[in-house]
Amino acid sequence: MKAKVNEGCISCGACVAACPEVFRFNDDGIAEAYAEVAPEYEKPALEARDACPVSVIDVEE
Ligand code: SF4
């Protein structure tokens, strides 16, 4: 499973809080997915996607 943060992140921190194993802030304060989603983190990664207030996170098989 892979995650991607598209343009439009408002730096709210919800995804980083929900799944820090996949999401982090880059040097510009924008969230990025920095790791493949390991099986044990699929659920929190999907929760992070659903928690994004501007719906800019894609999670794909
Ligand atoms: S939840 Fe969405 S808006 Fe908030 S930091 Fe993550 S990608 Fe950005």
Please write the tens of the pLDDT for every residue from 2-61. Answer: 999 999 999 999 999 999 999 999 999 999 999 999 999 999 999 999 999 999 999 998
Residue of 4, 7, 9, 32 with the most ligand 1 atoms within 8 Å of its CB, for mutation? 9
Ligand 1 contact via 11 beta carbon (within 6 Å): yes
Beta bridge partners, 19, equal none
3-state secondary structure of 27: coil
CA 29 to chain centre: 13
Closest-lying ligand 1 atom to the alpha carbon of residue 10: 3
Ligand 1 contact via 13 beta carbon (within 6 Å): yes
- Please state the pTM of the whole predicted model: 0.95
Strand (E) positions, the chain? 2-5, 23-25, 31-33, 57-60
